[in-house]
């Protein structure tokens, strides 16, 4: 999926999504999970707040960082970046810059801007940042885990969904009643329909202690009968369910087709109801 238009930088994930909700931008591109640090809590939390937004595409990028400093910097005492970025270069910092103080910022770009203003000595950023700030590369191709990757979602306001491709992902977030076995009930609904679970995360509801929402990713598209039926079943088990999108997976082969079996079974039940089959 290709898009053309003006790129608008914002400082945080919530601000990017807020711009879409307000109609200030058409889309927001946000990180959803990293192969080293796992899910991105800021994205999970903002997806359930306020008006709905849906994902219409995803991409997976190899992770590489640069460490940027102001020209002429002789000593690095502080290094800043988004917490996920700092976590992915923790060993490099300890080995290369022992004794420096790591400082969390709202984004890697915010860290670069802060270094440019003289607030910190160095920033861990995407390599492209060196072209946007008056900073020099202290080091590049920095990473603790060589094959780290991050998955991003392209979000927009609700509307027409992408057409099924045969290699799709559907995402929902479910708020469940507090009772024994409720998560097992949700997963059983998927298993009974032969649906492959590709992601499961929990986040607190930020209300009563011990109450959680479940973020569920599955292979398939809501247009497929078995996926639609499974989501209806999840709805029955939940206090609240929010649809987060059905969209092509970035780097997966086509999923195993099970809809012929599902459609045949549904047709048999329909025929029995009409008295046409025994």
Label each residue of the chain as H, E or C.
CCCCCCCCCCCCHHHHHHHHHCCCCCCEEEEEEECCCEECHHHHHHHHCCCCCEEEEEEEEECCEEEEECCCCCCCCEEEECHHHHHHCHHHHHHHCCCCEEEECCCHHHHHHHHHCCCCCEEEECHHHHHCCCCEEEEEEECCCCCCEEEEEEEECCCCCCCCCCCEEEEEEEECCCCCCHHHHHHHHHHHCCCCEEEEEEEECCCCCCCEEEEEEEECCCCCHHHHHHHHHHHHCCCEEEEEEEEECCCCCCCCCCHHHHHHHHHHHHHHHCCCCC
278 residues of the chain, pLDDT tens digit each: 566 778 887 878 999 999 999 999 999 999 999 988 899 999 999 999 899 999 999 999 998 999 999 999 989 999 999 998 999 999 999 999 999 999 999 889 899 999 999 999 999 999 999 999 999 999 999 999 988 899 999 999 999 999 999 999 999 999 988 788 889 999 999 999 999 999 999 998 887 777 889 999 999 999 999 999 999 999 999 889 999 999 999 977 776 656 677 777 778 888 888 888 76
Distances (CA, A) of 259 to 195, 222, 225, 255: 11, 12, 7, 11
CA 58/CA 180 separation, integer angstroms: 34
Q: Which residue has the tokens 């920095």?
A: 142
Residue with tokens 């082969």, as numbered in its chain: 253
Residue-range domains of the chain with CATH: 64-142 (3.40.190.10), 162-248 (3.30.70.260)
Strand partners, 31: 152
pTM recorded for the entire structure: 0.83
């Amino acid at each position: 999926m290709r898009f053309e238009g003006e790129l608008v930088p914002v400082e945080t994930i919530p601000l990017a999504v807020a711009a879409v909700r307000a109609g200030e931008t058409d889309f927001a591109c946000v990180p959803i999970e990293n192969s080293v640090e796992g899910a991105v809590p800021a994205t999970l939390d903002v997806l359930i707040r306020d008006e709905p937004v849906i994902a219409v595409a995803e991409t997976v990028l190899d992770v590489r960082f640069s460490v940027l400093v102001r020209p002429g910097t002789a000593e690095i005492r502080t290094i800043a970046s988004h917490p996920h970025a700092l976590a992915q270069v923790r060993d490099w910092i300890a080995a290369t810059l022992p004794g420096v103080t790591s400082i969390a910022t709202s984004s890697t770009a915010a860290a670069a801007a802060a270094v440019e203003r003289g607030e910190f000595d160095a920033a861990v950023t995407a390599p492209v940042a060196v072209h946007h700030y008056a900073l020099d590369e202290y080091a590049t191709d920095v990473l603790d885990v060589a094959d780290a990757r991050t998955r991003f979602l392209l979000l927009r306001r609700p509307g027409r969904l992408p057409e099924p491709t045969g290699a799709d992902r559907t995402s929902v977030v479910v708020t469940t009643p507090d009772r024994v076995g409720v998560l097992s009930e949700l997963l059983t609904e998927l298993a009974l329909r032969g649906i492959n679970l590709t992601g499961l995360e929990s986040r607190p509801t930020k209300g009563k202690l011990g109450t959680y929402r479940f973020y569920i990713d599955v292979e398939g598209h809501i247009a497929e009968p078995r996926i639609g039926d499974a989501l209806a079943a999840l709805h029955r088990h939940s206090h609240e369910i929010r649809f987060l999108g059905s969209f092509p997976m970035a780097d997966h082969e086509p999923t195993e087709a099970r809809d012929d079996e599902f459609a045949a079974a549904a047709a048999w039940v329909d025929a029995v109801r009409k008295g046409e089959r025994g």
